[in-house]
Amino acid sequence: MGLTILIADDTETDRLILRTIVNKLGHRVIIATDGAEAIDLYQQECPELVLLDVMMPNVDGLEAARQIKALAGEELVPIIFLTSLTDAESLARCLDVGGDDFLSKPYNATILRAKINAFNRMRVMHNTLQEQRDKIVEHNQYLLHEQTVAKEIFDKVAHSGCLNAPNLRAVQSPFAIFNGDIVVAARKPSGGMMVLLGDFAGHGLPAAIGAMPLAEIFYGMINKGFSMPEVLAEINNKLKKVLPVSSFCCAVMVDLDFTSKLVKLWIGGLPDCYLYRNCTGEFEALTSQHLPLGILGAQKFNAEYQLIEMANDDRLLLMSDGVIEAQDEAKQFFGVERLQQVFKQNNQIDSLFEEIRKSVFSFIGEPTDDLTMVEVMMVPPETFADEDEVFEVSAARGAQNWAVNFEFRPETLRNYNPIPLVLHCLMEIPGLGLHNSKLYTILSELYSNALEHGVLQMSSSLKHSSQGFTEYYAERESRLRRLAQGYIRFALNHVPTEQGGFVQIRVEDSGPGFDYQQLQNMKGDQLFHGRGISLLRSFCQQVTYLGKGNCVEVVFSWTND
């Protein structure tokens, strides 16, 4: 496709020669006889290429080139000077004002065609780059808008607790819009406080995504009165399920009791935390004893914590690895030694937190990693006197003393396992979350006995051999399909105590029962054949058979620690 080419020359002969050559090349030609006319025609016709004589009346070629380039803006309009000049200074001045090349007189059609084609390719490439740049800018603005909205949602979820409490100070320096570090803090219904600093592997949005379920679980469970081990176990289980294999969350969690002055501390994968004793002025290093959250499965996860006594004005310094591993321009780490040097130079403990922050930032200049520090101070309970009224314990912890009954009839027994429903009800009790495996086993044993030996009246004697097991379960399925009457009743009774609580589980079936009095004198698992009595007794504080043997009541107790 031909171009529109502006030819500006005050010599008629030269204009005629150039017009002829350019027309033969298939391009459209517009003619100007001086620089002023060339500028006017450029504004009117917007040519893609300009052939410009240097020496012209009114406005010379140099000034015309300067104005045409200014009018073109970001668009590439190649200007080829037509000149008989040969001295280097004149040619350099042509380039300085915006010229892109020269064409010496007398004109050579072959060279002119080559230059026009070359600059046209350059112009097309320039336009393509501009279009791609504009698309990138537009896309980047769209992403920034999305990130801004997402950041607002993230902040509302992750920072909805009590980070502004008078005994807390925190500083976060995100390496990107989203922070791979998270700090959450919440008051407990009992009046204490829990604080968690998490450091997800990686940076930015991928790392921050894991903070959302962490914060939801943290605030939701603490408001309901769940203990620190329960909260940690639930967060670990959730992160184990949702995070990629290579991702995890190093964390430290603190549970403060402002009345007893006891602090529970769990550290998984983070650098040492420091405890400042106000009475001695000394710092104690507290080392991680666990793997980060999201690595181990529920069965292997260990929520065991360190128990520390803290006096009023004692402080805990928690920090992500971004503090110790902060690097200067020479790639040197800030390190533990520099941190401890700040400790030694401090004369006023209230200013220590700010001194650490200034020391780290003056060392690194611009942060290259997420960097987070938290200071937690032990204070008298009266510090929160104005806030305690917001905690309505009965509402925050749910029902404190309750009972509930279920009755499952044939239509249900034939096609539905009610254990998850009953277990879900029990899991709403603060403190029981860590015992869900035992409770599931207890409920399963009770339900199986009630269904198979009570409602279906099956005999365990069939299970004496492997073939007998097959026959037993085949008969079980057959009787279940034909089941037309009967029931199994669950009665749950939850009673809280100061240390935790206990729950009574009574299971009654519609069967004929059995002679449970014989159990009083029996020993050995073989004598409890088919009823799992020994297993129930190992988990429960009490196992009692009632009535004609078709009703059993167990008591399971626990402490919040």
Longest dimension (CA), the chain: 130
CATH T-level topology, domain 160-381: Phosphatase 2c; domain 1 (3.60.40)
CA dist list (Å): 78 to 49, 133, 561: 5, 20, 79
Judged by DSSP in three states, 503 sits in strand
Instruction: Spell out the per-residue pLDDT of the chain, length 561, in tens.
Output: 789 999 999 999 999 999 999 999 999 999 999 999 999 999 999 999 999 999 899 899 999 999 999 999 999 999 999 887 778 888 888 899 999 998 888 888 999 999 999 999 999 999 999 999 999 999 999 988 887 887 787 777 766 678 889 999 988 776 666 677 888 999 887 788 999 999 988 777 767 778 888 998 998 888 777 789 989 999 999 999 988 888 899 999 999 999 889 999 999 999 999 999 999 999 999 999 999 999 999 889 999 999 999 999 999 999 988 888 888 888 888 889 999 999 999 989 999 999 998 898 888 876 666 788 999 999 998 888 666 544 444 444 556 778 899 999 999 999 888 888 888 888 878 778 778 778 888 998 999 999 999 999 998 777 777 677 788 888 998 999 999 999 999 999 998 887 788 999 999 999 998 877 766 555 544 444 545 778 888 899 999 999 898 999 999 998 876
Same fold, 4-129 and 160-381: no
Distance CA(54)–CA(63), nearest Å, equals 9
Is residue 505 classed as helix, strand or coil in its secondary structure? strand
How many distinct helices (H) and strands (E) make up the chain?
17, 20
Fold for the domain defined by 4-129: Rossmann fold (3.40.50)
| C-alpha count within 13 angstroms, C-beta hemisphere, residue 408 | 22
Q: How large is the angle between the packed helices 109-158 and 211-223, nearest 10 degrees?
A: 10
Model confidence, pTM: 0.59
Q: Hey, CA dihedral for 266, 270, 272, 275, is it positive or negative?
A: negative
**CATH fit for domain 402-559, picks 3.30.1050.10, 3.40.50.2300, 1.20.58.340, 3.30.565.10:** 3.30.565.10
Which residues lie below 8 Å from residue 319, measured CB to CB, with a gap of 6+? 197, 270, 271, 273, 372, 373, 374
The domain segmentation of the chain, as residue ranges, is 4-129, 160-381, 402-559
Strand partners, 493: 403, 504
* Of 165, 381, 376, 378, nearest in space to 259 by CA: 381
Strands 28-32 vs 49-53: parallel, antiparallel or unpaired: unpaired
Q: Tell me which DSSP letter residue 290 carries.
A: B
